[in-house]
Chains A and B, each alone.
Chain A
Amino acid sequence: MIFVDYIDRAETTATMPTLCMHCSEPTCALVCPADAIKQNEDGIVMSALKPRCLDCRNCVNACPFGVPKYNSAMHLQMKCDMCYDRTSEGLMPMCASVCPTGAITFGTYEEVVPKRKTKPVNAHVFGNQRVETKVYLMLPTDAEEVEVDGCGVFEGRVAVEREEGRKASWLETQVESSDNRNEF
C-alpha cells in the first residue's frame, strides 16, 4: 500500500513515495460507520477488520493522503499497517527494510533524527484540517508544518507553476494506473 509518484516527470526525474502516515486521529477511522479501523497500542492504524467492514469505502474517499485502497475482488479494504506481522516480531517493515537510499527509514524519533541534516515534521495542513502523524517527513526547510494545499513548504524549491493547459506526462499517468491495477 505504498505509492511512488513522479512529482512532475516533464521537468524532473524526482519521485516521492506515499505511505500511511499513521495519524494520531485517523480520518479513515473517524469516518468508518462500523468502527472497523482500529489503532494499536503504539498508535499504528490497522487495516479494516474484515468481519466489520461494510465495503462502503468512506475511508478510501476521506483519507487526506489517499492511502487506503479497496480490493473489489476480495471485498476488502487494505492499507499499510506498518507490516504488523513483522514489526510485532521485532523486524522492520518491508518497505524500510529494502529501501535502497534510506528515503524510507524505520526507527524511533531519537534514533533517526540525529543522523540526518533535515528537519522532522509531522503536522500537515489540508485547508481547514490539521493532521498530526506518527510518521515524520524529513524536510530540507525549517517549516513547522506542511501546508499541503498551498505547497507552501516546497515553494521556491520545486517549480509547481505549470504552463496553461499542460497535462501530466503519460508516464505519470501510466505509473498511477499501474498502482491502481496492483490492488494487491
Chain B
Amino acid sequence: MSKVENLERIIAEFGPSLHDAPYGGWKADRKIDKVVPTHCPYCAVQCGMNLLVENDHVVGFEPRYDFPVNEGKLCPKGVTAYLQAHHPDRLKHPLIKRNGLFERASWDEALDLITAKIKELRSKYGNDSMALYSGSSLTTEKTYVMGKFARVGLQTRYVDYNGRLCMVSAAAGNNKAFGVDRAANPWSDIPLSEVLLITGANCAETFPILNKYMWEQRDNGGIWIIIDPRETPTARQGDLHLQLRPGTDVALANGMLHVIIKEGYVDEQFISNRTNGWTETREVILEKYTPEYCAEITGVPAEKIVQAARLYGRAKTGFVLHARGIEHHSNGVDNVLSYINLVLATGKIGAPGRGYATFTGQGNGQGGREHGQKSDQLPGQRSINNPEHRKHMAEFWGIAEDELPQAGVSVVEMFQKMREGEIRGLISVCNNVMVSLPDTNKVRESLEGLDFYVCIDFFMSEAARYADVVLPGTAWSEDEGVTTNGEGRVLKINKATEPPGEAKPDWWIVQQLAKRLGREKFFPYTHSREMFNELREASRGGTADYGGISWERIERENGVFWPCPTDDHPGTPRMFEDRFYHPDGKARFHAVEYKGADEKPDDEYPLILTSGRVVFQYLSGNQTRRIKFLVDQCPEPYVEIHPETAKKLEIADGERVKVVSRRGSGVFPALVVRTIRPDTIFVPYHWGEELAVNQLTNPALDPTSKIPEFKACAARIEKVASRQLPILGQARQGTSLNEAQQGK
C-alpha cells in the first residue's frame, strides 16, 4: 500500500533543501518584538537560549547567559536551530497520498479518512491491529498524551517510542541496580570529581555543552579516563584512553573491578550498609576476570586496565558517565550493570563529586520515558504489568481495569509484527524509522506492507514519504510544555510564534482523532497546561513524581529536579544520598558475565562495523540535514578505516568503497585515519535510504531492554569499480544521494 513513487517530485516539493538565512533574509535593522527565553530543541543538555521574534517569525537567537546549565554556550546545532522554524520545507497542510503523489487536503478530510481506516482495520482485525510509535523530542505533556491516546483512544497494546533506540539499556540497568531510572547526580557535581570515567560516550560531539563542566573539572586538576574504540574528540582530550574492541565492555569493567578488589580499593562499609549481591559478584569477578584475560578479549593492554582501575579506585571522588557506545548492544544492560558495579564497589555515588550519569540522546529523552509511552510503562515510571499500578491508572483515567491494554512490544518487534500481518496500521509521531531503525531494508518492507500509515511531523522525513497521510505538527518554538534534561531537571519550553500555515500541535491532532473515535471525554484539553496538570497528578506517588512541580516554579528556579512530591519540596538534584529506590533502600550488584556481540567477525566479514554521530547532525537528520551551515560541515556519511587496513585492501583516502554486511551494503567515501582500531570501521548514522548505515546494522536485541545492536556487527569492505560509483563527478553535493543525482 504505502510505497514511495515519484521520489524526485517529493524531494523537489518537500526537501531536504538547504536553507541558510532567517525569515526575510539577512537584515541589520530588525525590529525585534519579543525575546522568548526557551531551550534548544536538540540534545538533552537542553541549553537555554533566547529566540528573537519579529512579526510572529523567529528570526534569530541570543545566548541566555543567565541559565545555569549552559551559561549562554551552544553547539553548532544550537546556534543554527532557529533556522528550522520558518524553513521553506516546513509542512503547512495535511497531505493525502493519491496515485503516489501527496495532495493537499483539509484537516476534516484527512482526519475523517484516518478515522474511517482505523475503524475498518479494528472491525476486521481487532484493536491491536493499530500501533502508535512516538518520540522523545516531544514535550512531556505530548508524550503523556501519546501514551494515553494509544491505550485509551486507540485502545491498542502496541505503543512504543524511539527512546527504545536510545535510552532503554541505561534505564533498565538503572532500574535493576538502583530501583529508579534517572541520572544520579546533577552535572554541577562533575567539577568536584577527581576522576571522570567516560565510556562509550563521545560527549564532545553528542553532548557538547557538558564539556563546560568537564573542563572545569580539568582546570581543578582532574583526570579523564576514556573508554572508546575510536579516538573521538572526547578521547583525544582525555588522559588515559582504553581503545577497546566494540562490544567487549563487560570484560573491561570486570577486569577493572578485579584489580579494584585485588588491590583493596573497595569501600567495605558502603557495600555492607547500602548494597546487596556483593558476594556473588565478587566471586564471579575474582574467579575469571584477571586483567590478562580481559586484555585478550578487549584488545586493551593489561597494564592500561590496571592503570585505569588504580586511577578510579584510589580516587576519593569519581564520576562514571556513559552513553550509547555501551548501551547499543545485544548485551547493553549487562554493559551498564558492569560499570555500575564499579561505582557501587568503590562507594562513589550519592555525595558531592561522587557520581554516576548516563547521557540522554533526545532533548526530552528523560521526560519521554517517564510518563507512559513505553510499551510496558504507565505514567510516573509505573509498570503496566503491576496490578496495583494498573488499577491506579485505570481509576485515574476513568476506565475499567480490564479495558486498559496489556504490555505491548518494543519497536523492532512491532515492525516484525507488521511484516507478519498482525499490525496493519501505524501512526508515527516524531521519528524517522527509515534512518533510525536497524536493518532498514526490512523496515521498508514493513512500511510497504502496512494497510494504512499516518505520519505526524513538521518536515517530510524519509519515513514520511511512505505514508498514506502526512499531518503537519509543530516545531518546538510553536507550543509550550516541559522537558526533562539529562540530569533530571524539569525545564519549560516556551512558545515564540504560531505554527505556519495550518500546522497544529501534535496533541491537538490525536485529540481530534480521539474525538472521532468516540473517546472525546478522555481528552478534554484546550491548552498544554491542562495536560501538564493532569500528568502531574498522574505521576503523584509514582517514582518519577512531578507532584510539586509547576510551570511557575520551573521558571522561577531555573528548573526543578524530580522527584518533587509536594509544593514545598525542594526537588532532588542529587539522588541516593541516604537511600536507593528498591523497597529495602539498598542498591544491587549484578554478577554479569561477558558474552560479546551477537555477530562476531569471521573470514567472510572480518571487520567490526560500529556507528555513531557527528556534532553537525542531530539523530535521524530530519531537522539538521536542511540547514546549510551544518550540511556544509558534514554533507554525507563516510567510513573511517585505519591506515593498516586500508593498505591491505589498497584503499586510498577519499576513495568510495562498498561496506557490506549480511543484511545490506552501502557506498561511502573512505576516511583513512589512525584514530580508529585496525579491526574496526565506523560510519555516522544520520542519513536515510542508500546512505543509511542502518542498511547494514544488526537488529539483534538485548533480552531485557530490547535495544538493537547498532554498535557492533560483522562487515567487510569491497573496492568499487569506478563505473559502479553512484555519484560521478558530483561527490559531496546536496544532502542526499537523490539530490546529488539530480545535480542539485
If A102-B215, A170-B654, A182-B632 touch, whether A13 touches B671 (CB-CB below 8 Å) is: no
Q: Establish whether residues B73 and A10, one from each chain, have CB atoms under 8 Å apart when the complex forms.
A: no
Q: Mark B66-90, 1 if CB is under 8 A from A, else 0.
A: 0000001111001100000000000
Q: Establish whether residues A9 and B632, one from each chain, have CB atoms under 8 Å apart when the complex forms.
A: no
Closest CB-CB distance, A152 to chain B, in whole Å?
23
Interchain CA distance A181-B643 in the complex, whole Å: 30
Q: Establish whether residues A169 and B653, one from each chain, have CB atoms under 8 Å apart when the complex forms.
A: yes
Asked if A73 CB lies within 8 Å of chain B CBs, one says no
Q: Which of A10, A14, A15, A175 contacts B674 (CB 8 A)?
A: A10
Asked if B208 CB lies within 8 Å of chain A CBs, one says yes
Chain A residues numbered 83-104 whose CB sits less than 8 Å from any CB in chain B: 92, 94, 97-102
In the bound complex, residues from chain A placing their C-beta under 8 Å from that of B209 are: 100
Q: Establish whether residues A101 and B629, one from each chain, have CB atoms under 8 Å apart when the complex forms.
A: no
Of B228-236, B400-408, B458-466, the one touching chain A: B228-236
In the bound complex, residues from chain A placing their C-beta under 8 Å from that of B215 are: 101-102
Q: Mark A145-184, 1 if CB is under 8 A from B, else 0.
A: 0000000000000000000000101110011001001101
Q: Which of B26, B211, B219, B236 contacts A14 (CB 8 A)?
A: B236
In the bound complex, residues from chain A placing their C-beta under 8 Å from that of B632 are: 178, 181-182
In the bound complex, residues from chain A placing their C-beta under 8 Å from that of B73 are: 97-100
Asked if B35 CB lies within 8 Å of chain A CBs, one says no
Chain B residues numbered 709-744 whose CB sits less than 8 Å from any CB in chain A: 732
Interchain CA distance A13-B232 in the complex, whole Å: 7
In the bound complex, residues from chain A placing their C-beta under 8 Å from that of B643 are: 10
Asked if B212 CB lies within 8 Å of chain A CBs, one says yes
Closest CB-CB distance, B229 to chain A, in whole Å?
13
Which A residue sits closest to B210, measured CB to CB?
A100
Q: Mark B666-678, 1 if CB is under 8 A from A, else 0.
A: 0001011111000
Chain A interface helix/strand/loop/mixed: loop
Chain B residues numbered 625-663 whose CB sits less than 8 Å from any CB in chain A: 629, 632-633, 638, 643, 653-654
Chain B residues numbered 195-220 whose CB sits less than 8 Å from any CB in chain A: 204, 208-209, 211-212, 215, 219
Interchain CA distance A14-B26 in the complex, whole Å: 33
In the bound complex, residues from chain B placing their C-beta under 8 Å from that of A13 are: 231-233, 235-236, 675
Chain B residues numbered 281-324 whose CB sits less than 8 Å from any CB in chain A: none
Which of B209, B232, B675 gathers most chain A CB within 10 Å? B675
Asked if A11 CB lies within 8 Å of chain B CBs, one says yes
Asked if B612 CB lies within 8 Å of chain A CBs, one says no
Q: Establish whether residues A97 and B65, one from each chain, have CB atoms under 8 Å apart when the complex forms.
A: yes
Interchain CA distance A117-B231 in the complex, whole Å: 24
Chain A residues numbered 1-27 whose CB sits less than 8 Å from any CB in chain B: 9-15
Q: Which of B74, B219, B629, B673 contacts A115 (CB 8 A)?
A: B219
In the bound complex, residues from chain B placing their C-beta under 8 Å from that of A14 are: 233, 236
Q: Establish whether residues B675 and A98, one from each chain, have CB atoms under 8 Å apart when the complex forms.
A: no
Q: Establish whether residues B653 and A170, one from each chain, have CB atoms under 8 Å apart when the complex forms.
A: yes
Which B residue sits closest to A100, measured CB to CB?
B208
In the bound complex, residues from chain B placing their C-beta under 8 Å from that of A175 are: 633
Q: Establish whether residues A100 and B75, one from each chain, have CB atoms under 8 Å apart when the complex forms.
A: yes
Q: Establish whether residues B208 and A171, one from each chain, have CB atoms under 8 Å apart when the complex forms.
A: no
Which of B204, B208, B653 gathers most chain A CB within 10 Å? B653
Q: Establish whether residues B78 and A98, one from each chain, have CB atoms under 8 Å apart when the complex forms.
A: yes
In the bound complex, residues from chain B placing their C-beta under 8 Å from that of A15 are: 233
Interchain CA distance A101-B643 in the complex, whole Å: 30
Interchain CA distance A95-B675 in the complex, whole Å: 28
7 A-B residue contacts at CB 8 Å?
A9-B671, A10-B643, A14-B233, A97-B72, A98-B72, A100-B208, A102-B215
A10-B643, A169-B653 given. 11 additional CB < 8 A pairs?
A14-B236, A97-B72, A98-B63, A98-B73, A98-B79, A100-B211, A101-B204, A101-B212, A102-B212, A115-B219, A178-B632
Q: Which residues of A contact B (CB under 8 A)?
A: 9-15, 92, 94, 97-102, 115-117, 167, 169-171, 174-175, 178, 181-182, 184
